[in-house]
Every structure is written in structure tokens, then in C-alpha cells.
Amino acid sequence: MVRIVKIGGIELDNPLYMLESFEVKNVKAVSFNTLGGSKIIYESIRRDNANNITLDSMDNGWLRLETLQKIVNLANELGLTVDLTTTDNSTLRARFRLEEKEVVKAEMIYEGSEWYKVTIKMAYA
């Protein structure tokens, strides 16, 4: 699974996992059965979800509050695109998916902790 170590110029405390790493992104299919019992399958180019990037802490990619605040500040910039840097130093150009709710979702690991489990919704730019 692809792991992201940097969002824009922000070095992450722990890598975040890119949930779409191994998903089929460009093709979707719908199937149904006819009255005679035959299966019919329609395949088409996917237009709805093909560009999504969802970054997630999973079990160990937690971020400190300070890092989380920097990411929220980036998400609040109008029209911003950023480079996502992976563990192998390749980069992806992305933007925050501001058209969706909870672009940056954070949950404190335990009460009083400075560490947060996060989900960040982005898209290819």
C-alpha cells in the first residue's frame, strides 16, 4: 500500500496510508439477471470516483496536534494544489476534496493525548 510521508511542505509524524492504492479506478461495471436467468454485464469508464485519494492513519499513522493544525491550515487555502510525497520519494499532485464533508477528520487517540488518528480526503489535481 502506498504511504505518504509529506503533504506539501509538511513532514508527517508518521506515514499515512493511501486507501485507493490497489483499487480499479477507471472502469466500473453493473450486472443484472434477465428473466431467462442470463447475466448481463455493462462496463463503462468511471467518472465519479476515479480521482479520489483518501489518506488514513490506520493503526499506526498518527499525527500530532501541531502537524494536524498545519494540514487544516493548508486545506483552508482556496484553490491550493500540493505535492504528496511517498515513502519512495515519488510525488503525486493533489488537492483537498473541499466539495465533501469532513475533508480532514481527526480523532484523539485517548483523552488528553497529543496524537490523533486522521482521515484526509484529497483528489488528483
Per-domain boundaries in the chain: 3-124
Q: Can you list the pairs that 40-47 forms with residues at least 24 positions away whose Cβ atoms lie under 8 Å?
A: none
Could you tell me which residues come within 8 angstroms of residue 13 by beta carbon, excluding any fewer than 6 positions away?
A: 62, 63, 64, 67
pLDDT one digit per residue (tens) for the chain, 125 residues: 899 999 999 999 999 999 986 555 566 778 989 999 999 888 876 555 558 899 999 999 999 999 999 999 999 999 999 999 999 999 999 999 999 999 999 999 999 999 999 999 999 98
* Cα separation, 71 vs 12, whole angstroms: 10
DSSP 3-state of 116: strand
CB atoms within 10 A of CB 12: 23
For residue 7, what is its C-alpha cell? 503533504
